A and B are shown apart, each in its own frame.
Chain A
Amino acid sequence: MNIVISNSSGEPIYAQIVSQIRQSILTGELPAGSSLPSIRQLAKDLQISVITTKRAYEELERAGLIDSMVGRGSFVSGVNREFLREQRLKALEEKLAEIAAESRTLGLDKQELIALLETVYEEDDR
């Protein structure tokens, strides 16, 4: 597992850790049951504070992605990837609903919105 911390991205360090570990779990790089480095070890490796690392692990735990056991460390939880994917799809749906509402207030119809989405995709591909 790799974690790369950027000091200039503006994104809080704990959030960077959360999203990168979540990504590793989603891609299957970290299978269920695999152990994560201890909070203190990770803090040492990344040269960041223990509290920041702790916060990231707490966040992951709250999202049900990892389990922490006193004295034994943290493990990727048994939550299956299908379930995680569904969760993220649901979140995506919510965001899309927001976008739909926003485009309605701007007076865009469905076709125009789709066209806009296509432009965004093309820009991303380039």
Chain B
Amino acid sequence: MNAVRMESIGKRYDGFELNGVTFDVRKGFITGLIGPNGSGKSTLIRMMMQMVRPDQGHVELFGRRLQGDAAELRGKIGYVSDESYFYEHLTLKRMKNILAPFYGDWNEDVFRGYLDRFELPENKKIKELSKGMKMKFSLAVALSHSAELLIMDEPTAGLDPVFRRELLDLLAEQIQDERRSILFSSHITNDLDRIADYIVFVNKGRLIFEETKDAVLERHALVKGGKELLDADLRALFIGLRETDMGFEGLMKERESAEKLFGGLALIEQPTLEEIVYYTAKGKGERVHA
């Protein structure tokens, strides 16, 4: 079963459009929703929270197709927003007092545990916290009501590298229980994707691919070589290409065809996710002069 299913989602805004996006968040796994800024990640996530409604297509949560306001399903989700949405003038303690009663499964001990672990001062006002601290508070709340699905929108923005690593452990702890699922979005890859099982890549409001991370990395090939190797036909075979006076570096969709075309002539490497995002977003574009 899927924790979330997004089916042919369409949404139109001024100067932005989501178009026929379909993907799943699988139960028991960690899914990374990646793509450049403004590619529609946050909108997709807000649709799962029923904050935004799709113009076309539909959303399924825990196997149930959303119709009207399925408020109780939100109780099974731990949501970490990209921007802190708490009442800034309140202390952490009062904010917690406001929100805890809404969750039937609120666990005060678990919450206290996270406050300690994240070193959050409960008598401080939210507006006095740094961006990273606000995110930690939001995470503490999201993890304290036995949510089956954890959704985090750009959680690592504003976090220091030490806590980012700690977050990996935290998420791995959550997923020890295979009834739980995690979705995070990020434009900074090579971050949480160490532990991601599935990668959903959106760019300019369209789905580029949805695959296991291992398959994504093994399938693509990063080709580096001298510029004399390229001609118009070959250029057309790249997803994205960066050419300088020193040579070229480009991303190809199939490792096999890369081997066939450039084997022995150019360097063929496994790309990182970041390189895949970069070259897909960039396309073949202008020739860059070094």
- Whether a CB of chain B sits under 8 angstroms from the CB of A41 is yes
Most chain A beta-carbon neighbours within 10 Å: one of B29, B196, B214, B218: B214
> A49 and B169: CB pair below 8 A?
no
Contacts known (A12-B214, A44-B169); A51 close to B29, Cβ less than 8 A = yes
Bound CA–CA A52/B213 (angstroms):
9
Fill in one digit per residue for B139-180: 1 if any A CB lies within 8 Å of its CB, else 0.
Answer: 000000000000000000000000001001100110110100
A40 engages B194 (CB within 8 Å): no
Q: A12-B218, A14-B214 are in contact. Are A48 and B175 (CB under 8 A)?
A: no
CB pair A47 B194 closer than 8 Å: yes
Determine if A43 is an interface residue (Cβ-Cβ < 8 Å).
Answer: yes
User: Across the A-B interface, how many residue pairs have beta carbons closer than 8 Å?
Assistant: 48
Interface residues on B, range: 20 to 34
Find chain A residues with CB under 8 A from B30 CB: 49-50
Report Cα–Cα, A74/B169, bound state, in Å: 23
- Contact A51–B212 (Cβ < 8 Å): yes
Interfacial residues, chain B to chain A (CB-CB below 8 A)? 28-30, 165, 168-169, 172-173, 175-176, 178, 194-198, 212-214, 218, 270
- Please name the 9 residue pairs, one residue from A and one from B, whose CB atoms are nearest each other, closest first: A44-B172, A51-B197, A49-B197, A40-B176, A47-B168, A51-B212, A50-B197, A49-B195, A47-B194
- A residues within 8 Å of B by Cβ? 10, 12-14, 40-41, 43-44, 47-52, 55
